[in-house]
Amino acid sequence: MLAKLKMDGQAVVVTGGGAGIGKAAAAALCEMGAISIIVGRTEKTLQDTQAEFQAKGWKCEIFVADVSKEADVGRLAAWVGSAFPEVKAVVNNAGNNFSSALHELPTERWRELMATNLDSVYFMCRDFIPLLLKASKPSIVNVASTFGVIGNAKMPVYCATKGGVVNLTRQMAIDYGPQGLRVNSVCPGSTLSPRYKGYLDKGLVNMDAVKARIMLGRPADCDEIGDVIAFLVSDAASFVTGATMVVDGGQTIH
């Protein structure tokens, strides 16, 4: 089992990897011996994360890109393809959310979140599948949400995009499983990412209400989600594909 968790210098691309769940996943993969290629929109955040990782002796590359934009993903794939002979895995973690009732939701805001949460997964998978298929036992992990399998108040576009990620994952697992490519989704519940902590600080989230819905009585730490992502990437999960891995402390079981 432990040998199957070792990455041995294999390249893994993590979007939204500068902070939060993406950073935690990239860190776990680095600990396992991967070269984490961390992608994000803010260069300073990426540089800080890279410096932190390198201080621990981990191998890490960074690339500034907005993966909701087709051209940026094309640049990223071209660079990775020139720098690495193959890619072991892609973790599609970039995403955003906001609260709005559907009848008050402007079209541009709908399009914005569709691009960030769903188009980005399409662009990344399309452009990286040729590189993934060169690797032994390659994998894609798409980060969705518990709100991709249940509804939530005033989050119509977020729920729609994350539900799309879950079912796109299942569909790709069908098409590419015969070629050895595994595709899974992870659905985190409430997680103490920097963005979520910002909501708490602004009073936009009632922590008592959140805890009441979670059987373990607390939100997740980012590394609790990152560890599951890293496991799914690894060969220890070699017979897992098309799965929707809910990691929510028991939020969705009642």
Catalytic residues: 158
Q: Are strands 89-92 and 35-40 parallel, antiparallel or unpaired?
A: unpaired
Question: Are 47 and 62 in contact, with CB atoms under 8 Å apart?
Answer: yes
Structure tokens at 189: 């519940």
Measured CA to CA, the distance from residue 46 to residue 63 in angstroms comes to 8
- Residue count of the chain: 254
- Please name the helix (run of DSSP H) or strand (run of DSSP E) that holds residue 222, with its range, or none: helix 222-233
Question: How far are the Cα atoms of 44, 142, 241 from residue 245, in angstroms, in the given order?
Answer: 32, 10, 10
Measured CA to CA, the distance from residue 164 to residue 115 in angstroms comes to 12
Other CB atoms within a 10 A radius of the CB of residue 203 amount to: 7
Structure tokens at 247: 């990691």
Of 187, 63, 165, the C-alpha closest to 157 is: 165
Angle value at C-alpha 121, between 115 and 126, nearest 5 degrees: 115
Of 77, 177, 167, 62, the C-alpha closest to 124 is: 77
The DSSP 8-state label assigned to residue 83 in this structure reads H
